[in-house]
């Protein structure tokens, strides 16, 4: 485990893979509608904090990558953070005045 965290490139790649997997799980659950709203809400409450932490960890480790690979990883992690922030903003604004 110590060797894994010493290699910034491996941590950054793993972070991107986990982030993409979690995005696919969220979109898949939403589109397939195989779960009820309560279960979907619970899954979102669990997955989104993990997604945020993994993305921030990968973003921080991207600064320690040496060579030309640093810029693409920084950009990809930044895009992921922007997507999380924008979707959170949309949910807060769009459901602010929603009354069931």
pLDDT tens-digit profile of 34-75?
667 777 778 888 988 999 999 999 999 999 999 899 999 999
- For 62, other C-beta atoms within 10 Å of its C-beta total 24
More confident of the two residues 90 and 19: 19
Question: Per-residue confidence at 90, pLDDT binned at 50, 70, 90?
Answer: confident
pTM: 0.82
pLDDT at 99 (0 to 100): 57
Cβ-Cβ contacts under 8 Å for 16 (sequence gap 6 or more) = 58, 73, 76, 77, 80
């Amino acid at each position: 485990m110590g060797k894994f965290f010493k290699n910034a490139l491996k941590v950054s790649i793993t972070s991107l893979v986990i982030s993409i997997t979690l995005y696919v799980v969220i979109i898949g659950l939403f589109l397939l509608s195989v779960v009820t709203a309560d279960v979907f809400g619970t899954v979102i409450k669990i997955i989104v904090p993990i997604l945020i932490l993994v993305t921030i960890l990968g973003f921080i480790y991207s600064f320690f990558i040496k060579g030309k690979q640093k810029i693409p990883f920084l950009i990809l992690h930044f895009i992921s953070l922007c997507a999380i922030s924008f979707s959170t903003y949309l949910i807060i604004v769009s459901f602010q005045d929603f009354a069931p």
